[in-house]
Structure 1
Amino acid sequence: MERRLYIDGKWSEGSGDTALAVINPATGEELAKVPQATVADIDDAVLAARRAFDEGPWGRTTPAERAAVLRRFSDLLAARRSEIVDLTIAEAGAPRKLAQTLQVQSGLDHLKDMADRVLATFPFSRPMPPTFGAGIGQGVVLREAAGVVAAITPFNYPFFTNMSKVAPVLAAGCTIVLKPSPYTPLAALLIAEVAEQAEIPAGVLNVVSGDIAAGERLTTHAGVDVVTFTGSDAVGAKIMAQAAPGIKKVVLELGGKSANILLDDADLDRAIPHAALGFTRHSGQGCACLTRVLVHRSRYDETVERLSGALAGLKVGDPDDPATDMGPLIREAQRERVERYVRIGQEEGARLVHGGGRPVGLDAGFFHEPTLFADVRNSMRIAQEEIFGPVGVVIPFDDDTEAVAVANDSDFGLSGAIWAADPKRAFAVAQQVRTGMLVLNGGGGGTNPHGPFGGYKRSGIGREFGEAGLEEYLETKAVLWGVR
């Protein structure tokens, strides 16, 4: 596959002489080198996207025409699913069973949903009610492409997060400059390769690999209309500040410290395995991880014991092994961050129940044990700050009101879960929790490509997936006329 920049329909080594090394986090070995885009390369990519939008055919295509192109794009990507899975395992360290499902298949589902359903049903034009005053007026509301989009994506779910930007942006009729994480650029380059095969016009999709400087050039570029970013709240705040002078629209999918609430009548046989997975999936490197386990006090000790046992049963190791439950962290710096928070938790007085260190026998790569803390107060740093590692904390509550209060006592509000024997009770609690998504009693087992995904508070601005995701890349225009 290609390992160069993709700008204006052409592959380029870039104008600089610096390369980014892509490392396999399970081994620490180098997978590939890709060019690091310079400011000049970013300018070229934005110019190509600007020209493709202002002068090219893409922005003037009908929804049906775009749907046909996206179906072809979707089919070609699906044909390379196995390759994308292997790539995700290698560059992101995702366990094979996660790579096959949420990492890759969910991204493919999202693109297919945009092509097959959303573009067929979305109201790009709707009439306005007539007005009666000095004269009779009529009008129509049009939803039009917003323009050039700069998309910056993270390392944790590379194919999925890239597709969560590319699919709605192209469906809207916009053009895009995609800058993936420097840790995981290969998935984005494969997407560009397939886009070329799908005959998506030159300049509509551009992919540049680069560091912080490349990202800042994108977010401040006068040729960019919308900036969309997935990552930490701290970086999201910086991107908002960078985009502000240009009054650019920003779409931010940021961090979380989500609560998994086990009410007093929760079915622990079902809830415990979900709770363990909730903060260890992809080694806890997910914004929607359920890292705070809130448990009714009457069942606290039992839950801690059973959850610790569930963690002990997880297989940590080679992500390419189909039996592996948890692979590595992305880099040594991330592992050191997790270890620092383990020390902080102990210093704060929390009780380390399970894990807390590096697994025995896994000397290569960046592995960390699944880790559990009990006797945690919600005010502790390990309960308030996003660790981005396989660390869960268990917090007691006495009634539903306190459970809601603890869940809402957070700067974040991205995801969450509730377990209760009575579905009506679970739904009543869900209505009170300030978060963008809640799963009741296990839900449907994953994200829904039709439903909106995004956060309250410091977890972001805007939504992804389905119609809500498409709307982020559309402008609204009123066209009015009189009737004689």
Structure 2
Amino acid sequence: MMREIAGVPVPRLNSVYVAGEWVPATGPAYEIVSPSTEETVAEVVLPSVTEADAALTAATDSKWGRLPVEQRAEICARFCASLEARFPDLGTVWAAEAGMPVRYSATLHKYGAAGAWNSALASAADALRDDHRSSLLGDVVVRREPAGVVVAILAYNGPVVTMATKVVPALLAGCPVVVKAAPESQLIMRLVAESAAAAGFPAGALSILCGDVEVARQLTADPRADLVSLTGGRVAAQEIIEATRGRFARTHLELGGKSPALILDDAPLDRVLKSLVPGATGGGGQVCAALSRVLISRRRHDELIDRLRTAWQGLRIGDPFDRETAIGPLVNPAALRRTEGFVDRARAAGGEVVAGGRRPEGFAAGHYYEPTLITGVARDADLAQNEVFGPVTVVQTYDDLADGLRLANDTSFGLAASVYTADRALAAEAASAIAAGSVAINTFGPAVSAPFGGVKGSGWGRESGPEGIQEFTELKQIVFGPGV
């Protein structure tokens, strides 16, 4: 009998979507364990390096890049429409296997995923159009051609959005794509694969594997992978760089951040909190662009702390299937231990826990941790410098604007930032001075219709917008000399 999760049918997952067909998975058995109940949700068979090899073979032989961009866009549009029709189911299974609240997924998928792929679909033809120039040698056509076979590695914390910002643009550019999603994304990526199958991608255009690290290593080391695009951590990025550098394969790396929210003295705090709270705590802090550092002048620190304490303590922790839940569990025990470790070290170093800082009462099971607010840590403290990927926010103080900007840039990361002020000129000055791929003014980002990515230790390459499609292309100049 087919099992159901909140009304969503879940088959025994022993097949994998490779190059447009369902084939038997030949990897190890894997249990999907609920982060909220710690009970087994489903049993699956993981794909192995055998399926990875088959996916790369089919991608290499694919004629996808030869189709006109209009035809590629038509197929991708069917894929995206199918996904959009399944948003409620996608949110349900994501809550079951990753603990993400359904309220969060509904917002993220509607505005993040749908916004990104609608933008990509609308801009693909223009982004890939030939550019005509003149030269002393003759007329020049500058053409964008597909970069080749793409291996796209996705994290558990937003697979549908990453499909929209990474995979759909690569497909529109004409690149066959092999997706390697996280083992924690089995159920949600099964639904994504079903939508791909319904869209009718031709053979080899798209494969979706939720495999372990050995599958990722096989894919990235294979010389048939022309471009590897990772959303993940620095350790994985270093492995990819080592695996690809010998063959000069291109890489895109989106590696997380320690994003500041710089609050200037003229910013009204009631207005600040409307976007700062979701920007810092959405997804339980398991978001690459989370505003995990709040920067405030010394004179306004106490005023802000009082308001933040009230906001953080008002966040509802609970069952991710409950539409009132704001904070669900962390994805697995390792994520919980990592979060606890950061808070314990901050306390030991003299940090003051203003809110949270422990597992919540009343939860006999689940990887839950209270949304936590800490102040009084040193600028070089572990918590101030490194990504927690959990519901922990640090408040730091600065002396003046110049000091605030130094503090904003005082990490090895450079992914996102927010600036809060009523002065547009001051906002523009601060945005220019902050080293980050995205700076939002009086809100939090990024905008999914514009290119987004990191600087410094947050990686390189851009996703979203027309530029996100162009990232998956190679430029070629064609010079027409005399006689043609």
For the superposition of Structure 1 and Structure 2, which TM-score range results when normalised by the shorter chain?
Answer: over 0.9
Q: What is the CA deviation profile of residues 201-223 of structure 1, one whole-angstrom value per residue up to 9, with x for unaligned ones?
A: 12111111211111001110111
Q: Deviations over 1:121-152 (max 9, x none)?
A: 22431112131xxxx52221110011111111
Shift of 1:359: 0.4
Using structure 1 for the length normalisation, give the TM-score.
0.94
Q: Say if 2:127 and 2:467, in contact at 8 Å, map to a contact too.
A: no
Asked if the contact 1:88/1:158 (under 8 Å) is kept, the reply is no
Asked if 1:15 corresponds to 2:14, the answer is no
Q: 1:48-100: CA deviations, max 9, x gaps?
A: 11111xxx2x1111111112212222222222222112122222211122110
Q: Structure 1 residues 103-112 or 322-331, which shifts more?
A: 103-112
Residue of structure 1 equivalent to 2:3: none
Determine the C-alpha separation between the residues in 2 that align with 1:164 and 1:21. 29
Letter in 2 for 1:67: A
Match of 1:119 in 2: 124
CA distance in 2, matches of 1:342, 1:110: 35
Any conservation in 2 of the 1:34–1:209 contact (CA below 8 Å)? no
The answer to whether the Cα contact below 8 Å between 2:293 and 2:394 also exists between their aligned partners in 1 is yes
Give the 5 Å matches for 1:29-48.
Answer: 29-48=39-58
- The residue identity in structure 1 corresponding to 2:42 is A
Contact 1:92 1:158 in 2 (8 A): no
SS at match of 2:395: strand
8 Å Cα contact 1:220/1:246 also seen in 2: no
Match of 1:254 in 2: 255
**Equivalents in 2 of 1:120, 1:199: separation in Å?**
21
- Distance in 2, matches of 1:205 and 1:35, equals 20
Q: Does 1:401 align with 2:402?
A: yes
Contact 2:150 2:229 in 1 (8 A): yes
Aligned pairs for 1:172-211 (under 5 A) are 172-211=173-212
Partner of 1:432: 433
User: Which residue number corresponds to residue 106 of structure 2?
Assistant: 100
Note if contact 2:127-2:470 (Cα within 8 Å) is conserved in structure 1.
no
**Alignment deviations for residues 393-420 of structure 1 (CA, whole Å, 9 cap, x no partner):** 1111111100100111110000011111
Query: How far did residue 273 of structure 1 move?
Result: 4.1
Q: Does 410-419 or 154-163 show the bigger shift?
A: 154-163
- Which of 61, 86, 93 does residue 51 from structure 1 map onto? 61
What does 1:89-238 align with in structure 2 at a 5 Å threshold?
A: 89-103=95-109, 105-115=111-121, 117-131=122-136, 136-238=137-239
Query: What is the alpha-carbon distance in structure 2 between the residues aligned to residue 447 and residue 255 of structure 1?
Result: 13
1: CA distance between counterparts of 2:138 and 2:276?
A: 57
Return the letter of the residue paired with 2:293: R
**Which residue of the partner structure matches residue 462 of structure 2?**
463
CA distance in 2, matches of 1:82, 1:343: 37
3-state SS, counterpart of residue 476 of structure 2: strand
- More displaced, 36-45 or 282-291? 36-45
Distance (Å, rounded) in 1 between the aligned partners of 2:464 and 2:99: 25
What is the deviation of 1:168? 0.6
Structure 1 CA distance for aligned equivalents of residues 344 and 61 of structure 2: 52
Amino acid at match of 2:467: A
Report the counterpart of residue 284 of structure 2 in structure 1. 283
Whole-angstrom CA distance in 2 between matches of 1:85 and 1:178: 20
In structure 2, what residue type is equivalent to 1:407? A
The 8 Å contact of residues 20 and 203 in structure 2, kept in 1 or not, is answered as yes
Q: Deviations over 1:433-473 (max 9, x none)?
A: 00010110126xx5422111111101011011011211111
Partners of 2:339 and 2:389 within 8 A in 1: yes
Equivalent residue, structure 2, for 1:448: 447
Any idea what the Cα deviations from partners look like across 1:240-288, whole Å, max 9, x if unmatched?
Answer: 1111112110011111001101111111011134333332211110110
Match of 1:86 among 72, 92, 101: 92
In structure 2, C-alpha distance between the alignment counterparts of 1:345 and 1:273, rounded to whole Å = 27
Q: CA deviation at 1:326?
A: 0.8
Hey, what does 2:69 align to over in structure 1? Answer: 63
Task: Call closer, same or farther: CA 1:201–1:12 in 2, change over 3 Å.
Answer: same
1:211 partner amino acid: D
TM-score w.r.t. length of structure 2: 0.94
CA distance in 2, matches of 1:68, 1:201: 12
Kindly report the root-mean-square deviation, in angstroms, between the aligned alpha carbons of the 2 structures. Answer: 1.5
* Contact 1:92 1:330 (8 Å CA) reproduced: yes
SS at match of 1:303: helix
Note if contact 1:63-1:171 (Cα within 8 Å) is conserved in structure 2: yes
Query: Is the deviation greater in 187-196 or in 395-404?
Result: 187-196
Distance 1:105 1:261, change over 3 A: closer
Contact preservation (8 Å) 2:260, 2:408: yes
Distance between the aligned counterparts of 1:441 and 1:165, measured in 2?
27
- Distance (Å, rounded) in 1 between the aligned partners of 2:235 and 2:400: 33
AA of the residue aligned to 1:21 = E
1:105 CA drift (Å): 4.5
Structure 1 CA distance for aligned equivalents of residues 143 and 41 of structure 2: 47
* Partners of 1:89 and 1:431 in 2: CA distance: 38
Can you list the C-alpha shifts for 1:228-248, whole angstroms capped at 9, x where unaligned? 110112221221111111211
Percent identity, aligned pairs only? Answer: 37
Hey, what does 1:72 align to over in structure 2?
78
Given that 1:257 and 1:384 are in contact with CA atoms closer than 8 Å, whether structure 2 keeps it comes out as: yes
CA distance in 2, matches of 1:59, 1:175: 7
Matched with 1:369 is 370
Amino acid across the alignment from 2:118: K
The alignment partner of 2:133 has SS state of strand
Displacement, 1:43? 0.8
**Counterpart residue type for residue 476 of structure 2:** K
Please give the per-residue CA displacement for 1:350-369, whole angstroms capped at 9, x wherever unaligned.
Answer: 11111111000112211000
Paired with 1:280 and 1:254, the residues of 2 have a C-alpha distance of: 19
CA distance in 2, matches of 1:322, 1:156: 19
Q: Distance in 2 between matches of 1:274 and 1:21?
A: 37
SS at match of 1:293: strand
Q: Name the CA shift for 1:104/1:218 in 2 (closer, same or farther; >3 Å).
A: farther
Question: Counterpart of 1:198 in structure 2: which amino acid?
Answer: A
CA deviations over 1:317-346 (Å, ceiling 9, x no partner): 111111111111000111011001111101
Residue 125 of structure 1 aligns to which amino acid in structure 2? D
